[in-house]
Chain A
Amino acid sequence: MHEFSVCHDLLRQVEDLARAHNARAVSAIHLQIGPLSGIEATLLEQAFTVARAGTVAAAAVLATEALPIRVRCQSCGAVGEVAVNRLVCGACGDWHTELLSGDELLLASVELELEEDDV
């Protein structure tokens, strides 16, 4: 249920961006989410359909790109994709790994309809 809080933060940022660019509306919002961010994309999308009401993003499409969890082994250097609760090197089995991606919680981009487009 914390996806609602995240949505609120997201919409604040999007509204700021829309204001800064004098946008009439936001048509799309693109996110990048890794499983280790602790945010469920589907819950976020559901929360968004409620939270967007009355904002400049009221008609916006929310698109989330799921990023894989990738680690680099600190022992053997192997890089590989791993499961969310097993960040262990697939090559040598060592758990001393470094996360390369998978914890992202990013507003990647927004698409705006600008006022100037009307004229």
Chain B
Amino acid sequence: MCETCGCTITPGNQHLVQGEGRLARTADGKAAITVLQSLLHENDHQAEHNREHLDGYGTLAINLMSSPGSGKTSLLEATIEALQGSFKVAVIEGDLETENDAVRVRAKGVPVVQITTGSACHLDAHLVHDALHHLELDGVDILFIENVGNLVCPASFDLGHHLNVTLLSVTEGDDKPAKYPVMFRAADLLLLSKVDLLAVLDDFDPAAAEEHFRHLANPVPVLRVSARKGEGMEAWLHWLRQTLMVHRARLRQGATSRPAVQSDGARVHEQGPAHHGRHDHDHDHGGHPHHDYHHG
């Protein structure tokens, strides 16, 4: 196994992925082509374009993910109210059906586009691209993308956003991070939501939730909030302001921000001098090290 990135390219098979060696023959004479490209190449390609589009407007895009009913929309309502006058916010709402969430958020006076996915369990970069065409991004500081309530599928799709914020409400089990490691590993911030209910829910232990979360080797902050009671909102708003400031500084240097954990193996497989010439497309996604979303 490759020492640099842990992939399966070795000195023995490296010639297969370089230059003319890409096209070899199998024992029965078929043409064998080594590709080593993400299965989600189409989605990732679209996501890169979405990110470039957002960066053109200086808009920070945050992907909100959680189970259904963990308080994403309530958090958005409270956040929009709190940011009124200081930042311009826009929202993309993802749901299987209904415009209910869009109506709730629109009532707060911000532009909202609702994506109804029908039976699809997640948003993808193409759906978000279509939604972006219906949004006026001029002057928008923060775009929240409220993903479909689901702790499984949304984690696998890059939307072209900059950061993942994952909610875990205290009405759920505190072992959710252990049950849905892919989702919680992808979080750039974990919000324990509805913490005002901790007083009446004695079976949710926030310390245990955080321990399960750390076991996924995720070092990002864990904040406790109650959108309804306003508890912990200041720390969340502070994180938002800081994140926007850092993001804008990066944009000024010609860089951007990305979720710490990418949805594919491109991160490790598209970097490093040993692996050049493995794939055909003509633009640079740029590799980046694990857990470093301070990357351009």
Contact = CB atoms under 8 A, between A and B. Distances in A.
A54 to B, nearest CB: 18
B214 interface: yes
Contacts of A95: 214-217
Nearest to B22: A109
B199 interface: no
Count class of interface residues, chain A: 35 or more
B36 A38 contact: no
A43 to B, nearest CB: 11
A13 B35 contact: yes
A31 interface: yes
A98 B36 contact: no
Interface in A71-108: 71, 84-88, 95-101, 103-108
A111 B32 contact: yes
Contacts of A97: 217
B135 interface: no
Contacts of A55: none
A37 B8 CA distance: 16
Contacts of B153: 1-2, 38
Interface stretch (B48-56, B76-84, B120-128, B250-258): B120-128
B40 interface: yes
A36 B182 contact: yes
Interface stretch (B189-197, B236-244, B263-271): B263-271
Chain A to chain B: the 6 pairs with minimum beta-carbon distance, closest first? A100-B6, A2-B153, A38-B182, A101-B6, A104-B265, A87-B217
